[in-house]
Amino acid sequence: MAICFGVHLASAETKETNSLVLPDAARPITLLDDRQKLGPGDRVTYRVIEDQDDPRSLTITDSGDLEVPYLGLVHAAGKTSLQLAKEVKGLLEKQLYYQATVIIAIEVVNKTRVSGKVYVTGQVRNRGGFEIPGGETLTVSKAILSAGGFSDFSDKKNVRLIRKTANGKQTFVINVVDIWEKGNLDKDLVVQPDDLIVVPARLVNY
């Protein structure tokens, strides 16, 4: 199933009278996830409702650009479908349209690309940086498995995820035992590029 995002700007008539009822296809779709970042090789479905044309299948170039009809190249890599749709909408309404309802859907994710690396160190069997596959969700526990799993003396209950933010570093403590043995999957945080996972040693080895 494609992941769709729509962006709609009401016309002056709609704002003034509030009497126009938009067709279902023209209503904004805001309830779906807006976390998937686009990247080179991804294929998307593109449509402007006002054109009444069939959706077009477009592929993001190796340089991260999308060839948008009537606009030309628009940089898409690193943006979500919703962010890209808003940008295209603004460009269309600035240059060509009074109103543009832009719908962009992720059709195929290029699985060969990577969105960055997560770094795992401490009490794991293989320390180092591990690629985050494009279009996939990599969690803390999965990253540890990528690093060969825990060593014999690891503290599985106090794994630290260190993340750089605009305000400095942010640290999360994850109990992987709760995730694996109790099924508390909501505690298995999704990693982001350049995250550092530190697995400490147990204070008492037994």
Q: Which of 108, 129, 145 is the last residue of a domain?
A: 108
Q: Does one domain contain both 69 and 144?
A: no
Instruction: Give the CATH number of the domain where residue 55 resides.
Output: 3.30.1950.10
Confidence band, pLDDT 50/70/90 cuts, at residue 74: very high
Residue 204 placed within a domain: no
Residue 23 placed within a domain: yes
Domain count for the chain, please give it: 2
Nearest residue to 51 (alpha-carbon basis) of 76, 24, 70, 72: 70
Of the CA atoms within 13 Å of residue 129, those in its CB half-sphere come to 9
Q: Which of 77, 93, 108 is the last residue of a domain?
A: 108
Residue 99 placed within a domain: yes
pTM: 0.55
**pLDDT, average across residues 91-113:** 85
Q: Does one domain contain both 72 and 129?
A: no
| pLDDT tens digits, one per residue of 41-70 | 899 999 888 888 888 999 999 899 999 998
Nearest residue to 117 (alpha-carbon basis) of 185, 53, 192, 25: 192
Residue 206 placed within a domain: no
Q: Does one domain contain both 9 and 97?
A: yes
**pLDDT, average across residues 98-108:** 87
* Percent with pLDDT over 70 in the chain: 82
Nearest residue to 85 (alpha-carbon basis) of 126, 49, 53: 49
Contact between 162 and 191 under an 8 Å Cβ cutoff? The reply is no
User: 160 or 132: whose pLDDT is higher?
Assistant: 160
16 Cβ contact partners less than 8 Å away, ≥ 6 residues apart: none
Dihedral over alpha carbons 136, 157, 122, 206 (to 10 degrees):
-140
8 Cβ contact partners less than 8 Å away, ≥ 6 residues apart: 22, 26, 27, 28, 101
Residue 151: predicted pLDDT: 93
Which of the given ranges, 36-50, 128-142, 172-186, has the highest pLDDT on average? 172-186
Instruction: Give the CATH number of the domain where residue 153 resides.
Output: 3.10.560.10
Q: Does one domain contain both 93 and 175?
A: no
Q: Which of 77, 108, 139 is the last residue of a domain?
A: 108
Residue 18: predicted pLDDT: 35
Q: Does one domain contain both 65 and 139?
A: no
Confidence band, pLDDT 50/70/90 cuts, at residue 163: very high
Q: Does one domain contain both 193 and 119?
A: yes
Q: Does one domain contain both 97 and 137?
A: no
Residue 66 placed within a domain: yes
**pLDDT, average across residues 179-198:** 91
Residue range(s) defining the domain that contains residue 170: 114-199
Q: Does one domain contain both 43 and 136?
A: no
Residue 135: predicted pLDDT: 67
